[in-house]
Structure 1
Amino acid sequence: MKVLKMILATCCLVALLFVYGCENKEKTKSATEVVLDKSVSKVKDVMQSLTEVDSFPRNITKGKKNWNFVGYRDWCSGFYPGVLWYAYEYSKDEEIRKGAEAFTASLKDIAYTPADNHDIGFMMYCSYGNGYRLTGNEEYKDILLASADTLATLYNPKVGTILSWPGMTEKMGHNTIIDNMMNLELLFWAAKNGGDHKLYDIAKSHAEVSMKYLVRPDNSIYHVICFDQETGEFVKGITHQGYADESMWARGQGWGIYGFSMSYRETGDEEFLNTAIGLADHFIERLPEDGIPYWDFDDPKIPNAPKDASAAGVVACGMLELSSLVKDEALKTKYFNAAKSLITKLSSDEYLSGDVNDALLLHSTGHMPHNSEIDVPIVYADYYFMEALLRLKKAESID
């Protein structure tokens, strides 16, 4: 009987230690991991409700719960597969992986059809690029290389940049937008992974010309620069999606911080790094007290202007990238803390959608001048939020 009691007591002690260990392990999760857990759970629940893998979430109408969908040729089509790949990266959930593969496969034709916009990088690198990084699927690699070649057909050697909007050449001439900096990563990647070296040259030239003409002397950014198609001569800079041509459009500043940081990482050109630093410092200096940018820093309706959570997510990713590249420890800390502050704000009840709708984040602004996607969830906000959380988790684990 004594032996039995001892065995029972030992079993109870082991059980208590196991429960305590599980509870303690849960308690030691970082704030970043807690938000990732919630986000991945929600992403999986929503994914399971979607039945058509060739229709892609883009935005949610204010007051509604469910996503509005677009076809595979919409510029936002690659972001939702990217969200799934990030959710899989964190969770290693095979069901999420299968969903990511299914949505990604629907984009294949983009690699093999003529380019009609610069967004091939967003569409293919966010989907196939993340998929290849996480799985090593050789078919994904082939499709990415083909995508890079297709994107490169928009390059104009007289100007030195990739044409952004072919449909706008009659009105604008050869046009290049700051968003296009993000698509260079596909070209840099391809040049290192079996593609022609000219893809590197195209990407570097594009970044150099963009740096010269898109970046203003005060380290704010034009949205668009226009050139004569025949001579390559610079014509003017405008801000198509911002408040005014000389205003500081928040998401454009984010594309610049992220894009020039990435270009420095890929080329080692110090001018790109210095440009990213200037853009980041200017963004930090102009942030409002609550830490999340308005859609445009110069909207005269501030503080009654809409916010842009998507811009905050893009900038957070860009500043985490920048913090990993600068050599000065004070700058590393500055940009890391700025990124973490943005992520913390986005992780608050004010910006997390919770049970309100199927997105992760509220309060993004797409195209204010066209009265389009104002103060609503937008899929690329969720994409860069997930990327920022994963980058932050990795950085915190290193520390």
Structure 2
Amino acid sequence: MQISPSVDFPPQDIKSELDCTDTTQKAITEETKAVFKAVLDHSAMEKILKVANQEPAVPDTFPHYTNFGATEYVYEFSKRWTSGFFSGSVWALCERASKRELPVSFENLVKIARKWQSGMEKEQYNTETHDIGFMIMPSFQRDLDLTGSKPCGDVIIRAAESLLTRWNEAIGCLRSWNTTSTKIYEFTNKDTDFLVIIDNMMNLDLLYSATLLSGDPKYAAIATKHAETTLKYHIRPDNSTYHLIVYDPVTGKRKVGLTHQGYDHGSTWSRGQAWAIYGFATVYKYTKDPKFLDAAKRLTEYFMSRVENGAVYWDFDAPRPCVWDTSAVTIACSGMLLLCQLQGNLEYLPQVTLLMKTCIDGALTNEDGVTILDHATVNNYEHANHRIADHGLVYADYYFLEVGNRLIDLGLA
């Protein structure tokens, strides 16, 4: 199959076109300017570099989540799905330094980023996870884009090959988890249960990149088929999403929709909805198929309909009061800004302003913080084997930085 070439951000005519419209000028309020200035404040970079310049207590481990108060990180080994986000955060700073002057030079940032990235290279051969896209793309794709490093392109292609080992033709999906369990259910037999989570939409970028780099259409074809299957089975009629769908690996039939990290099986886990917005926007970026743009916009409309005074709770249907999930905010905002970039408009500027203002006002850490944001939630399902709620979280910060970079690309900050 054919896919569109990589999209330049922003498209060359966007900034001049937007700057000349009355609608855009009205959208960019003084509040919007203040929020976006805060997003790009150097204090975010300082938090990342404070951690980056320290050696982890255990070699070959990477920041994951923090204690309460966000003053100390818990580190995990590279096989953990979150392991690529910290080096990705440093690379996001490299990207920013390539576009505007920062207190730390681009060259020094690259050195720091590659130091952290080096521990992730072995994961290109990991066939036991669908999250290899999360592990590889935040670092190796940016290194490739910013420096032209050919070895990084080779890593991406090999990682894509590893991901393809998880493909099931009968279902039309990549397997997310081999097995899983909570206190009330378990799936331990790969031969009878094929597990796919909404998060998997975020790993398709790896496959599209591999097609662009290698010229082989097989990676993109599988990515698009996975997106089509997810579009059919993960999105409810009201445009909310299931977290986990269990399929029969032989017949390809859908068995059941469940949650693993949300409030209950019929609720909407906010980060899952954010993954879906961003994931379908990414598929549209590469395919230009309008059904994926339509899906991303419908998912966004539902997301925003459940926001309460700018706050995003860890599950939209969980009883109040309950904890926030700032990672859902930053992921959704980056996805919405991607939609703006792809459409050449500022349709979601008011929504991004509202959500990011809430993060700035209520979740920025103080000077002792090791993360930019607090009040993120990994998993608060009451039947989960391990609950982690209301902490700093490495990928909340990663997407916070990405939001800032998208604002720069759109000429908004």
Unaligned runs of 5+ in 2: 1-32, 98-104, 181-186
Among 332, 336, 351, the residue aligned to 2:349: 336
- One-letter code aligned to 1:223: H
Q: Distance in 1 between matches of 2:404 and 2:55?
A: 24
Q: What is the Cα deviation at residue 30 of structure 1? A: 6.9
Q: TM-score, normalised by structure 1?
A: 0.86
CA contact (8 A) 2:210 2:219 kept: yes
1:32 aligns with 2:36: yes
The match for 2:14 is: none
Paired position in structure 2 for 1:198: 218
Match of 2:265 in 1: 245
The offset of 1:322, in angstroms, is 1.4
1:131 Cα shift?
Answer: 1.7
User: Which residue of the partner structure matches residue 72 of structure 1?
Assistant: 78
Bigger proportion of residues as helix: 1
- Specify every segment of 5 or more residues in structure 1 that has no aligned partner in the other structure, as ranges: 1-28
Counterpart of 1:104? 117
Report the 3-state secondary structure (helix = DSSP H, G, I; strand = E; otherwise coil) of the residue aligned with 1:205.
helix
Match of 1:157 in 2: 169
Corresponding residue of 2:101: none
Identify which of 266, 284, 308 aligns with 1:288: 308
Matched residue, 1:315: 332
Between 190-199 and 279-288, the greater mean CA deviation after superposition: 190-199
Q: 53, 60, 66: which one pairs with 1:60?
A: 66
State which of 205, 208, 212 in structure 1 corresponds to 2:228.
208
User: Which structure has the larger Rg over C-alpha atoms?
Assistant: 1
* 2:384 is the alignment partner of 1:384: no
CA RMSD for the aligned pairs?
1.9
Where 1:334 maps in the other structure, the secondary structure is: coil
Measure the CA separation in 2 of the matches of 1:119 and 1:45. 27
The alignment partner of 2:201 has SS state of helix
The reply to whether residue 298 of structure 1 matches residue 317 of structure 2 is yes
TM-score scaled to structure 2, two decimals? 0.83
**Equivalent residues, number:** 361
Structure 1 residue ranges (4+ consecutive) displaced by more than 6 angstroms after TM superposition: none
- Provide closer, same or farther for how the CA distance between residues 317 and 35 of structure 1 changes in structure 2, counting only shifts above 3 A: closer
Query: Between the two proteins, what is the percent identity of the paired residues?
Result: 35
Aligned match of 1:393: 408
**Whole-angstrom distance in 1 between the partners of 2:302 and 2:69:** 35
Q: Is the 2:274–2:331 Cα contact (8 Å) retained in structure 1?
A: yes
- The answer on 1:170 being equivalent to 2:188 is yes
Match of 1:26 in 2: none
Which deviations, in whole Å up to 9, do the C-alpha atoms of 1:332-382 show, x marking residues without a partner?
44312212322232223x211121421110000101013522000010100
Where does residue 23 of structure 1 map in the other structure? none
Give the aligned residue type for 1:307: W
